[in-house]
C-alpha cells in the first residue's frame, strides 16, 4: 500500500456479502431494515458489494479501507462470514484493503486461539467487536477477556461499536438488539486492563457522546472513529473536540456500505473542521495507528 498516494484511510467498512456461499436465512430482512434506516438503496433490491467490489470502489477513489465481517452467530442466528476468506481477498488487494476480523468474545479460549491464528497465518491487523449485536459488556472479564487478552498479546487493534446502532432500528423489538451493551464508558475499564492495546470506539456514541470523548481524552490508547453517521448530524461538542484536544485521536470512517465515503466526505466539508486538522482525521492518524 502506497499510503502517500491515498487521499484518505477509511477505518470502518463492512464485508456484508459472503465470499463463497449464499446469504443466510433472514439476512434480506435485516439488510432491508438497514437500507431504510440509512436511506441507502443498497440492500433493498439485491446484493450488497462483495469484498472484491469494495476494493474496486475504494481503489477508484484512492481511499484505503479497513474491512471486516461481524461474528454475531450466537445472538442473531445468522451464519458468520469467513474471516479467512475476507483476509485472503484483502491479500489479493493489499494496495487498498487492510484486513480486520471478528470473533465473538463468548468463544473464550477457542476464540483466543482463532485470534492468534488469524493474526499469525492471515495477517489480520485488528478485530471488530459489536457489543450490541454480540450481546456482551466489553468490561465483562468472564465473558470476553480471554479473546481480548489474545488481541493484546498479538499487538493488534480492537474496534468496538458504541452507541445507538442502525442495526434493528425501527424493526420489531429492535431485532433483539440491546443498546445498553454499547455504552462507551465500558471501554474505560478495558483501557485500564489493557493499557497498551489500541482501542477504537466506533461512531459518535449517541446518546453517550460525551462519555466517549471523556474516555478518549483520559486514556492514551483510546481513539474514536467517526463512522456510522453523516457528519452533518454530529453533535456540536463532537466537532469541537475533533477540532481541538482530540484532533490526533479522531479517525475517518464511513460504515460502508451503509454510508458511502462519497456521501460522508461531502458532508464532512460542511461542518467546520479546521484545514490543518482535516489531514489528521482523513489519513495521518490512521496511518500512525495502523503502523503504515
Output the pLDDT for position 43.
Answer: 46
- Least confident window among 109-113, 135-139, 166-170, 175-179: 166-170
Q: Which of 249, 245, 259 is nearest to 280 (CA)?
A: 249
Dihedral pair phi/psi, residue 68, rounded to 5°: -155, 150
User: Omega of the bond prior to 117 within 30 degrees of 0, cis?
Assistant: no
Percent of the chain at pLDDT > 90 equals: 79
Show Cβ contacts of residue 60 under 8 Å, excluding neighbours closer than 6 positions.
none
**pLDDT of 11 above 80:** yes
Segment 14-38, tens digit of pLDDT = 997 555 556 555 556 665 665 666 5
Output the pLDDT for position 41.
Answer: 53
Q: How far apart are CA 158 and CA 135, in angstroms?
A: 17
What confidence tier does 173 reach under pLDDT thresholds 50, 70, 90? confident
Q: For domain 3-290, give the CATH number.
A: 3.20.20.140
Crossing angle of helices 51-61 and 261-268, rounded to 10°: 40
Output the pLDDT for position 215.
Answer: 98
- Least confident window among 161-170, 188-197, 202-211, 218-227: 161-170
Q: Where are the domains of the chain?
A: 3-290
Segment 208-225, tens digit of pLDDT = 999 999 999 999 999 999
Q: How far apart are CA 65 and CA 237, in angstroms?
A: 27
Segment 102-150, tens digit of pLDDT = 999 999 999 999 999 999 999 999 999 999 999 999 999 998 999 999 9
Contact between 202 and 254 (Cβ < 8 Å): no
What confidence tier does 77 reach under pLDDT thresholds 50, 70, 90? confident
CA angle 124, 103, 248 (to 5 degrees): 55
Output the pLDDT for position 44.
Answer: 47
Amino acid at each position: 500500500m502506497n499510503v502517500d498516494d491515498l487521499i484518505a484511510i477509511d477505518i470502518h467498512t463492512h464485508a456484508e456479502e459472503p465470499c463463497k456461499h449464499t446469504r443466510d436465512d433472514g439476512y434480506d430482512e435485516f439488510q432491508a431494515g438497514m437500507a431504510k434506516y440509512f436511506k441507502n438503496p443498497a440492500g433493498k433490491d439485491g446484493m450488497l458489494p462483495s469484498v472484491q467490489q469494495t476494493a474496486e470502489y475504494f481503489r477508484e477513489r484512492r481511499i484505503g479501507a479497513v474491512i471486516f465481517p461481524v461474528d454475531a452467530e450466537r445472538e442473531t442466528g445468522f451464519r458468520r462470514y469467513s474471516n479467512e476468506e475476507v483476509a485472503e481477498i484483502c491479500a489479493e488487494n493489499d494496495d487498498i484493503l487492510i484486513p480486520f476480523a471478528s470473533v465473538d468474545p463468548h468463544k473464550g479460549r477457542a476464540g483466543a486461539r482463532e485470534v492468534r491464528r488469524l493474526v499469525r497465518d492471515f495477517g489480520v491487523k485488528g478485530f471488530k467487536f459489536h457489543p450490541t449485536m454480540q450481546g456482551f459488556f466489553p468490561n465483562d472479564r468472564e465473558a470476553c477477556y480471554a479473546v481480548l487478552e489474545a488481541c493484546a498479546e498479538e499487538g493488534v487493534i480492537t474496534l468496538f461499536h458504541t452507541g445507538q446502532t442502525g442495526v434493528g432500528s425501527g424493526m420489531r423489538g429492535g431485532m433483539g438488539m440491546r443498546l445498553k451493551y454499547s455504552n462507551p464508558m465500558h471501554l474505560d475499564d478495558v483501557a485500564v486492563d489493557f493499557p497498551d492495546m489500541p482501542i477504537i470506539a466506533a461512531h459518535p456514541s449517541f446518546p453517550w457522546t460525551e462519555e466517549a470523548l471523556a474516555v478518549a481524552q483520559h486514556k492514551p490508547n483510546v481513539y474514536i472513529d467517526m463512522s456510522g453517521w453523516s457528519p452533518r448530524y454530529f453533535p456540536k461538542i463532537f466537532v469541537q473536540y475533533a477540532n481541538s484536544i482530540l484532533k490526533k485521536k479522531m479517525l475517518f470512517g464511513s460504515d460502508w456500505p451503509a454510508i458511502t465515503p462519497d456521501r460522508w466526505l461531502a458532508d464532512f466539508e460542511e461542518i467546520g473542521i479546521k484545514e490543518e486538522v482535516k489531514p489528521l482525521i482523513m489519513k495521518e492518524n490512521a496511518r500512525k495507528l495502523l503502523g503504515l
